[in-house]
C-alpha cells in the first residue's frame, strides 16, 4: 500500500481484494499526489481481479489528471513571465508520472524503460537547467555528446526518442513554443556491420552438433536439475521457421499442427511473444490483443516429428501448455534461453571442429571464420533463414517468412550482402564482341 516511500504521482502495490458479505470483492489503495497528499480510493468487482483492475485504472486516471493539472498550475501560479524558473528535472518527473499512468498509451514495460532512461541519462545532464534553457543547442550538445568517441550510437538514439517525447508533451501543455529536439541534426550512424549468418553448407553440421551435444548431456550424470532437449529442439525450430526468440518461447501446443492434416501439411502459428513488465513475472502478449499480425508458417515432416517426440516426453508442470516451458510451468525468459545457448556454444567449440566450406567446382573460397558456432546468437538463426530464402527463392518470400510488412526491412537488417555478382559475362560479351 502507498506510504511515505511511495514516489509522488504514483501508488504502491495494490493489496489483494477482499471478499465482502454480499459476495463482491473490494480493493483498497492510496494514491500520493504530486503535492504529497495521500488519497484513499476503493473499487469493487465480481472477482478479486476485476476489483483490483478497476482500482488500478482509477489510479492511472488520477495520475494523468494530476500531472496535467500540476504542469498547468506551474504556468498559471507563477505567471507566464516566471515559467523560465521551472527546473527541467521537475518537468521530467511530471512527464514520467504521465506516461506511467498510461497517458501516452505505452506498454508498462516501455514506460518503465523510458522512465529509467530519463532518470539515468537526461536528468543528470539537463535536470539542473531551467526549462527555457533546454533549447536546440543544449539538446544537440547532449545527444551528440553521447556518441563522442564513436561509441554508444544506440544509446544516443534511444535518448533522443525519450527527450523528444518529453519536449513534445511539454510543448503540448503550452510551457514551451515547440519541440527543440526535432531540429537537432541527425546523429552519427555506426558503420553497418556485415550480417552474420550460418552458411547453408553448415546448417546441417551445426544442427547435428547441437543435437548430439544435447543427447549426450541427457545421458551424462551431472549435478543440478535434470537435463533436457530445450536447446537442440529450440535451435531446430528456429532454423525451420526463422522466428524471434520471444515468439519461439511463446509457442503453445495449441499453436502447432504436428499431426498430419488432410493435405499432408504441418504448421506452426506465431500469434504471441513473451515479454516482461514491471512488477510482473514473464508474461505472454497475445497478438490478437495487441493488433500485431498473426503468421502461419509451414514446417517439414522432420520438424513435426521432433515436436511430437517433445510432446510425448514432456514431464514438467506446464499449466500454460508452452512448447518450451520454464521449470515450475512459467514462461521461459529469453535471457535464460540465451544463457543456456552460450554455455552449449562454448562447449561445442571444444568438442566439435566444424570445417570450412570446401573449395568446389573451381569456385573462389569465401573468407569467413573457421567455426560459425563461436558467435552465433538465436537471432543469427533468423538472419540465416532470411538470407537463405532470399538467395534461393526471392526477397519477397523471405520477407513473408520473417513476418516483415516491407522488404526494405528484410534487406537492411536480415540479408547478407552478396559478395559475388551474378554471371553477366555472356551478355556483356555479346555486345562488346558482336557475338551472335
pLDDT at 276 over 70: yes
Q: How high is the pLDDT of residue 417?
A: 64
Name the least confident of 60-69, 158-167, 217-226, 419-428: 419-428
Q: What is the largest CA-CA distance in the chain?
A: 98
Name the least confident of 272-276, 348-352, 364-368: 364-368
Decide if 80 is inside a domain: yes
pLDDT at 363 over 80: no
Q: Are residues 51 and 18 in the same domain?
A: yes
Q: How high is the pLDDT of residue 279?
A: 62
Q: How high is the pLDDT of residue 227?
A: 82
Which residue range is the domain that position 269 belongs to? Answer: 204-355
Decide if 32 is inside a domain: yes
**Cell numbers 515432416 label which residue?**
301
When mean pLDDT is compared over 74-88, 115-129, 405-419, the highest value belongs to 115-129
Each residue's pLDDT tens digit, 208-234: 999 999 999 888 877 767 789 999 999
Residues in the chain: 436
In the chain, % of residues over pLDDT 90: 41
pLDDT at 150 over 80: no
State the CATH number of the domain containing residue 226. 1.10.443.10
DSSP 313: T
In the chain, % of residues over pLDDT 70: 84
Decide if 435 is inside a domain: no
pLDDT at 372 over 90: no
pLDDT at 331 over 50: yes
Confidence of residue 278 (pLDDT cuts 50, 70, 90): low
Q: Are residues 59 and 140 in the same domain?
A: yes
State the CATH number of the domain containing residue 151. 1.10.150.130
Closest CA to 232 of 333, 142, 130, 306: 306
pTM comes to 0.64
Number of structural domains found in the chain: 2
| Domain end marker among 355, 386, 401 | 355
| Domain end marker among 303, 337, 355 | 355
Q: What is the mean pLDDT of residues 24-44?
A: 86
First-last CA distance in the chain: 87
Q: How high is the pLDDT of residue 367?
A: 42
Q: Are residues 327 and 208 in the same domain?
A: yes
Q: Are residues 24 and 133 in the same domain?
A: yes
Q: What is the mean pLDDT of residues 338-348?
A: 92
Q: How high is the pLDDT of residue 238?
A: 95
Decide if 254 is inside a domain: yes
Q: Are residues 155 and 302 in the same domain?
A: no
Decide if 163 is inside a domain: yes
Q: How high is the pLDDT of residue 242?
A: 94
pLDDT at 362 over 50: no
Q: How high is the pLDDT of residue 401?
A: 93
When mean pLDDT is compared over 1-10, 185-194, 420-429, the highest value belongs to 185-194
Q: Is 268 helix (H, G, I), strand (E, B) or coil?
A: strand
**Cell numbers 485504472 label which residue?**
57
Q: What is the mean pLDDT of residues 429-436?
A: 79
Confidence of residue 122 (pLDDT cuts 50, 70, 90): very high
| Domain end marker among 331, 355, 379 | 355
Q: Are residues 178 and 47 in the same domain?
A: yes
Q: Are residues 268 and 307 in the same domain?
A: yes
pLDDT at 200 over 90: no
Q: Which cell goes with 402?
A: 520473417
Q: What is the mean pLDDT of residues 155-183?
A: 91
Q: Are residues 173 and 321 in the same domain?
A: no
Q: How far apart are CA 193 and CA 359, in angstroms?
A: 26
CA distances from 330 to 58, 274, 286, 315 (A): 30, 11, 16, 14
**Cell numbers 512448447 label which residue?**
323
Confidence of residue 4 (pLDDT cuts 50, 70, 90): very low
Per-residue buried b or exposed e for 412-426, using 16+ beta carbons within 10 Å of the residue's own CB = eebbbeeeeeeeeee
pLDDT at 179 over 90: yes
Decide if 395 is inside a domain: no
Decide if 101 is inside a domain: yes
Q: How high is the pLDDT of residue 424?
A: 75
Decide if 411 is inside a domain: no
pLDDT at 364 over 60: no
Q: Are residues 22 and 140 in the same domain?
A: yes
Q: How high is the pLDDT of residue 177?
A: 85
CA distances from 164 to 88, 95, 128 (A): 14, 12, 18
Each residue's pLDDT tens digit, 68-100: 676 665 555 444 455 567 889 999 998 998 888
Confidence of residue 290 (pLDDT cuts 50, 70, 90): low
Q: Are residues 170 and 289 in the same domain?
A: no
pLDDT at 3 over 60: no
Q: Are residues 148 and 209 in the same domain?
A: no
Q: Are residues 54 and 176 in the same domain?
A: yes
Closest CA to 136 of 180, 101, 99: 180
Q: How high is the pLDDT of residue 117?
A: 94
Amino acid at each position: 500500500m502507498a506510504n511515505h516511500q511511495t514516489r509522488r504521482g504514483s501508488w504502491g502495490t495494490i493489496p489483494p481484494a477482499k471478499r465482502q458479505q454480499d459476495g463482491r470483492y473490494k480493493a483498497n489503495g492510496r494514491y500520493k499526489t504530486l503535492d504529497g497528499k495521500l488519497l484513499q480510493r476503493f473499487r469493487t468487482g465480481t472477482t478479486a481481479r476485476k476489483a483490483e483492475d478497476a482500482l488500478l485504472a482509477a489510479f492511472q486516471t488520477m495520475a494523468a489528471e494530476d500531472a496535467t493539472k500540476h504542469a498547468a498550475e506551474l504556468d498559471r501560479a507563477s505567471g507566464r513571465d516566471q515559467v523560465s524558473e521551472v527546473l527541467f528535472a521537475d518537468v521530467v518527473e511530471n512527464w514520467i508520472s504521465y506516461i506511467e499512468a498510461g497517458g501516452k498509451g505505452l506498454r508498462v514495460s516501455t514506460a518503465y524503460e523510458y522512465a529509467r532512461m530519463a532518470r539515468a541519462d537526461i536528468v543528470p545532464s539537463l535536470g539542473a537547467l531551467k526549462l527555457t534553457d533546454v533549447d536546440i543547442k543544449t539538446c544537440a550538445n547532449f545527444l551528440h555528446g553521447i556518441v563522442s568517441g564513436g561509441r554508444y550510437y544506440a544509446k544516443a538514439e534511444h535518448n533522443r526518442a525519450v527527450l523528444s517525447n518529453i519536449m513534445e508533451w511539454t510543448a503540448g501543455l503550452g510551457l514551451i513554443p515547440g519541440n527543440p529536439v526535432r531540429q537537432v541534426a541527425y546523429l552519427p550512424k555506426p558503420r553497418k556491420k556485415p550480417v552474420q549468418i550460418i552458411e547453408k553448407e553448415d546448417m546441417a553440421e551445426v544442427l547435428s552438433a547441437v543435437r548430439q551435444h544435447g543427447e549426450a548431456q541427457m545421458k551424462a550424470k551431472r549435478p543440478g536439475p535434470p537435463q533436457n532437449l530445450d536447446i537442440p529442439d529450440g535451435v531446430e525450430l528456429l532454423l525451420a521457421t526463422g522466428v524471434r526468440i520471444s515468439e519461439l518461447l511463446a509457442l503453445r501446443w495449441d499453436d502447432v499442427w504436428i499431426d498430419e492434416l488432410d493435405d499432408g501439411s504441418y504448421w506452426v502459428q506465431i500469434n504471441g511473444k513473451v515479454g516482461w513488465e514491471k512488477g510482473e513475472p514473464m508474461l505472454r502478449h497475445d497478438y490478437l490483443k495487441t493488433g500485431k499480425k498473426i503468421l502461419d508458417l509451414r514446417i517439414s515432416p522432420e520438424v513435426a516429428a521432433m515436436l511430437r517426440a517433445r510432446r510425448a516426453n514432456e514431464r514438467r508442470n506446464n499449466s500454460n501448455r508452452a512448447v518450451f516451458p520454464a521449470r515450475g510451468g512459467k514462461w521461459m525468459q529469453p535471457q535464460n534461453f540465451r544463457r543456456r545457448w552460450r554455455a552449449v556454444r562454448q562447449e561445442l567449440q571444444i568438442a566439435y571442429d566444424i570445417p570450412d566450406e570446401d573449395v568446389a567446382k573451381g569456385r573462389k573460397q569465401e573468407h569467413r571464420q573457421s567455426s560459425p558456432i563461436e558467435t552465433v546468437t538465436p537471432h543469427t538463426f533468423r538472419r540465416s533463414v532470411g538470407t537463405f530464402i532470399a538467395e534461393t527463392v526471392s526477397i519477397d518470400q523471405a520477407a513473408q517468412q520473417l513476418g516483415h510488412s516491407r522488404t526494405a526491412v528484410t534487406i537492411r537488417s536480415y540479408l547478407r550482402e552478396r559478395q559475388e555478382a551474378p554471371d553477366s559475362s555472356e551478355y556483356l560479351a555479346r555486345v562488346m564482341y558482336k557475338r551472335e
